[in-house]
Amino acid sequence: MGEYRKLWFTLIGVLIVTFSLLGYYGAEVYRVAPPIPQQYVVEGSGDTLYTHDTVLDGQTAWQSAGGMQVGSIWGHGAYQAPDWTADWLHRELVAWMELASVEEYGKPVAQLSDSEKAVLEAKLKAEYRRNTWNEDSGTVLLSARRAKAIEQTAEYYSRLFGNDPEFQSTRSNYAMKENTLPSAERREQMAAFFFWTAWAAATQRPGSEATYTNNWPHEPLIGNKPTPENVMWSILSVVIMMAGVGFLVWGWAFLRKEDHAEPEAPKRDPLTLVPLTPSQRALGKYLFLVVALFTFQVFLGGATAHYTVEGQGFYGIELSRWFPYSLLRTWHIQSALFWIATGFLAAGLFLAPLINGGKDPKYQKLGVDILFWALVVVVVGSYTGNYLAIAHIMPQEWNFLLGHQGYEYVELGRLWQIGKFLGVVFWLVLMARGIAPAFKQKDGDKNLLALLTASVVAIGLFYGAGLMYGERTHLSVMEYWRWWVVHLWVEGFFEVFATTALAFIFSTLGLVSYRMATAASLASASLFMLGGVPGTFHHLYFSGTTTPVMAVGASFSALEVVPLVVLGHEAWENWRLKFRAPWMDKVKWPLMFFVAVAFWNMLGAGVFGFMINPPISLYYIQGLNTTAVHAHAALFGVYGFLALGFTLLVLRYIRPQMVFNDSLMKRAFWWLNIGLALMMFTSLLPIGLIQFHASVGEGMWFARSEAFLQQDILQTLRWVRTFGDMVFIVGALSVTWQVISGLLSTRAPAHGVAAASLEGKSGAHASGGCCGSCSE
């Protein structure tokens, strides 16, 4: 560890503490998850309304219809259709009130006096918040009146998810295709699942004044409002964030060691002095796949956005008959994950031979080719499975394995998910074969190499967390593991890999000192992991967890904002690199994309991320368009720009004679950034804020209701998004054409990539390579 001992011990200590918290409170998720009773029994008659198996059968039915791509559950999923938990709960409460009004006063609710209505609302709240679950017998008792309200609500959903003509306009407004779930039996089972999620949201946890979902969603009829703990931890999260920022600034001022001996930049690019290896030449097809999937995803995003204004069609074409909203949104999200991951994999495979002294390990090119075609098989197989599942061509018992899991960001069938995991593990093996020999060399500083290796191992293994749940796993438990993939794998380990990989590249180019690159990478990794690992829990505030999970999630997710404060400095450092040597002009555009990463990390992940992080904030806006603002700005703004930057950087070196088209790249860069900003500031954010007001004033059900979302102002704002989408599409096509034209340029240059040893300090070099300070 040498001079980095303190930094290593800090990182190791952070990982021990944070993963201990994640594991300990993960066990708490299992222990306190809302029960799924063996049966719901009607008082008096003794009839069984629903059973444990009926609820789980309903969960699988919901998955087969597209799951989180058709509305949301507990706030997680798509935004156009309602949140089914909030919607079911409100509809059932209204039905109960109507039944009670007729039974007790002989007239509908609309004709009741204020005092009469207050009496019924008090009875309503008492009945719905009372927990009648008997742990010994595994039963829940329901009143006969409530059973009738449930049956009426279930009938509505059965007709909505079928092809009842009366609900055709509603399905269109919700961007649902006709006959969303063809089987009447499966629709009845799905209703049981919706009911269970609403029962958990309305029923007080034993020994607590809060429901199983911490009083989410906001529903004034039964007194669902933020808990005192929610408010307390929200305030404390702001305090913790401010304290973290303050300590970071002080630490930056007093503890940071300046490296005054900045290396002199070489007169020629060290990475263009020796031949490319066969495995590096083979990376061109990876770059093509990146931009092909990127372009596909962008057009899918435009079509998906259009569904929000023309729910079953595309400019008059009844597109939903073949490609419904749920399918296109699935492909839109999966395409993003595939092309972003491919960009990262390509960057790693480009580095592996460099770390190995400029040589390919035996059969490395074969491995690179196998990985590529395996990735293609997974992409095509998962997309085909998604289509067959949502079209209900695939047998329902095959859905989870080959079709659609139903869960946002991990929609691909389990077989394809396993294939993706094995592919990432195989990438880890390919990387290890290039890295391992470097550790055997006795000379040179290997600290940065060790951190890169650790991030590669984490990327290779932690995607496997998505295999820890099954088709019938409890929803709370599934959410815990799903966010390991979406938050921890992507936002944590990919962030560390990206930081370390860039540090390797820039130090090897002789633009920054190896010592500063290592120290900065270790410090950044500690900051990312400190907030990022236990910060995973901020996605689980209302997923059937308890106050300790909320406390940990709120406290540590606030710390995720802290390192983003200094991203302006990082952007400046990346920007100034292009002035360090004349030849850096050839990598100007990859650097510009890395500058954009820092900007959107600050705005998208930092500002918009913290906007929805405190429990009190997320209580009202979870599942609204404010979440989409953060998702677009963080996923594309950070990881999308990063993957495109890696793609352009690798392209520059595997096609050394290629010169970026400056006007084309200027259009690509600025139109992507401006288009993304227009999407958010002219459409998604205003819609989200209007919904926010409705959620606070009336309840979550209203903010996602058909009547509210079809208001003229919201329809207009959704149409306005078209302008931002078009600008973004032009930028996307520009960068795609730059990559394709670059790949089609001269394919076999005499010299390509230097064998500059990346495991040592800037001045060290491997056989045939060039040190970072050489002049030729």
In 81-167, which ranges are continuous DSSP H helix?
A: 84-105, 114-129, 144-160
- What is the predicted pLDDT for the residue at 208? 95
Question: What pLDDT is recorded for position 258?
Answer: 59
What distance in Å separates the CA atoms of residue 471 and residue 63, rounded to the nearest whole number? Answer: 9
DSSP 314: B
Q: How many CB atoms lie within 10 A of CB 392?
A: 18
Confidence of residue 253 (pLDDT cuts 50, 70, 90): confident
DSSP structure class, residue 471: T
Nearest to 463 by CA among 448, 438, 481: 481
Q: Give the closest residue to 762 by CA, choosing from 438, 442, 517, 436.
A: 517
CB count in 10 Å sphere of residue 610:
19
Confidence of residue 224 (pLDDT cuts 50, 70, 90): very high
Q: Kindly state the average pLDDT of the residues 511-522.
A: 86
Q: What is the pTM of this model?
A: 0.93
**Does 524 have pLDDT greater than 80?**
yes
Of residues 465 and 442, the one with the higher pLDDT is 465
Mean per-residue pLDDT for 429-438?
Answer: 94
Helix intervals (H) in 308-413? 325-355, 364-390
pLDDT in tens, 356-414: 888 999 999 999 999 999 999 999 999 999 999 999 999 999 999 999 999 999 999 99
Measured in degrees and rounded to the nearest 5, phi and psi for residue 134 equal -105, 110
254 pLDDT above the threshold of 60: yes
| Region of poorest pLDDT, from 90-94, 230-234, 268-272, 483-487 | 268-272
Residue 765: predicted pLDDT: 34
CA pair distance 61, 196, nearest whole angstrom: 14
Q: What is the mean pLDDT of the chain?
A: 91
Going by pLDDT thresholds of 50, 70 and 90, the confidence category of residue 569 is low
Between 268-282, 485-499, 560-574, 662-676, the lowest mean confidence (pLDDT) is in: 560-574
Q: Is the pLDDT of residue 576 over 80?
A: no
- Distance, CA of 84 to CA of 701 (rounded, Å): 9
107 burial level (CB within 10 Å; 0-12, 13-18, 19+): exposed
Quick: pLDDT tens for 701-740.
999 999 999 999 999 999 999 999 999 999 999 999 999 9
Q: Is it the case that residue 129 has pLDDT exceeding 50? A: yes
Average pLDDT on 655-680 reads 96
pLDDT at 566 over 80: no
Give the confidence band of 460 by pLDDT, cuts at 50, 70, 90.
Answer: very high
Most confident of 244-258, 494-508, 572-586: 494-508
